Amino acid sequence: MIKSYQRPSKLFNKGPSLLSKLLLLIFISIVLMGADYRFHYLKNIRQITNVFTKPFHTLLNTPSDIYNFTTEYFSNQSRLIHENEILKLNIDSLKADLQRLDFIDQENNQLKNLLEVKNAHKFKTEAVSIIYSRFDPFNQKIIINGGQNKDFQAGQPVINALGLVGQISSVFPETSEVTLIVDKKMSVPIQIQRNGLRAITNGNGQNETISLSYLPNSVDVIIGDVLKTSGIDTIYPEGIAVAEVLEINNNPTLPFAKIICKPISAIRNHTHVLVVTPINKIANNVAPIKNDQKK
């Protein structure tokens, strides 16, 4: 009896051989990959396919959503009352801080006006939930709930309560893709809080760390230094915490110091993020996608 796994006899097999089929398919795949790498047409296809995949994501998130909802619903009432009291106290102290901050902000603007220094751009934030993170060890990306329907544009920074999370890289009808600061392709202009030194961070892609690029071995950086966005690029608002210096390797044989930092915003631990929008919608520094469409 001929078993199903045995190969068919070569005598009657008149089609092309498996190897030639494989080579043809590899060739087509390489052409597709090359064309996609050059022209990015998969992004346009995604605009359509994302509409179909979103209900699946919502469906898959339902069990965890129900779990979160029920655990919250049935949580101890006294604990909630206690938590509420603490939060109220926190709000009071934050309000007091905010008043002081408003005053300082106003004073700062007045001083800047006196000195004829350009005022920093104003930004507003919008809270969105994280739908899922991409299944891909080569890219550090998350998908957030909100896209063209909320007027998001590629290039907008994404933050959370602790600090910078990343930047919107693609916008779809109802979702957006956020590239995290730890992604290999991601760079952020920063300033060291202690001494005001300006530098650029680059994502390492692995181990959830970022590194500081192009700083000489003699640079004044110590472990524990806090890096904040410098605001020079006008994309990221000024003064958002980015990372903390974790490790410094000064190798005299290399031209630059190797400085490894840990992102302050625990990027994997949150379910909500804030998308930062410039108030006066400076169209020049964001939105390559919409500009392309207009052209």
Partner 1 sequence: MIKKSKLFIISLIIAAMINLIHINIFNTDLTPDFILLTLIFWFFKNPNAVSISTFWLIGLITDIFMGDLLGQNALTYASCYFIAQYFISKIMLNNKHQKLLYIFLIFLSAQIIILIINLTHDLHYPGLSYFLQSITAVFIWHAFSKFKFFKLDR
Residues making contact with partner 1 (CB under 8 A): 3-7, 18-19, 21-22, 25-26, 28-33, 35-37, 41-42, 45, 49, 52-53, 56-57, 60, 132-133, 135-139, 184, 204-208, 268
User: Hey, what's the torsion of the CAs at 264, 269, 273, 276, to 10 degrees?
Assistant: 20
3-class DSSP assignment, residue 197: coil
The nearer residue to partner 1, 52 or 74, going by C-beta atoms, is 52
Q: What's the distance, Cα to Cα, between the start and end of the chain in Å?
A: 67
Using CB atoms within 10 A of its CB, is residue 295 exposed (0-12), middle (13-18) or buried (19+)? exposed
CB count in 10 Å sphere of residue 279: 9
Minimum distance from CB of 46 to partner 1 (Å)? 8
The nearer residue to partner 1, 32 or 111, going by C-beta atoms, is 32
The nearer residue to partner 1, 166 or 205, going by C-beta atoms, is 205
The nearer residue to partner 1, 3 or 122, going by C-beta atoms, is 3
The nearer residue to partner 1, 141 or 194, going by C-beta atoms, is 141
Among 265, 177, 270, smallest CA distance to 226 is for: 265
d(CA 127, CA 161) in angstroms, rounded, equals 11
Minimum distance from CB of 117 to partner 1 (Å)? 39
Minimum distance from CB of 262 to partner 1 (Å)? 12
3-class DSSP assignment, residue 249: strand
Minimum distance from CB of 32 to partner 1 (Å)? 3
Name the packing angle between helices 41-73 and 18-39 (round to 10°). 80
Minimum distance from CB of 169 to partner 1 (Å)? 12
Minimum distance from CB of 268 to partner 1 (Å)? 7
d(CA 221, CA 228) in angstroms, rounded, equals 14
The nearer residue to partner 1, 197 or 246, going by C-beta atoms, is 246
The nearer residue to partner 1, 57 or 194, going by C-beta atoms, is 57
170 in Cβ contact with 47 (< 8 Å): no
Beta bridge partners of 236: none
Please state whether beta strands 175-180 and 272-278 pair in parallel, antiparallel, or not at all (unpaired): unpaired
d(CA 128, CA 142) in angstroms, rounded, equals 12
Minimum distance from CB of 65 to partner 1 (Å)? 13
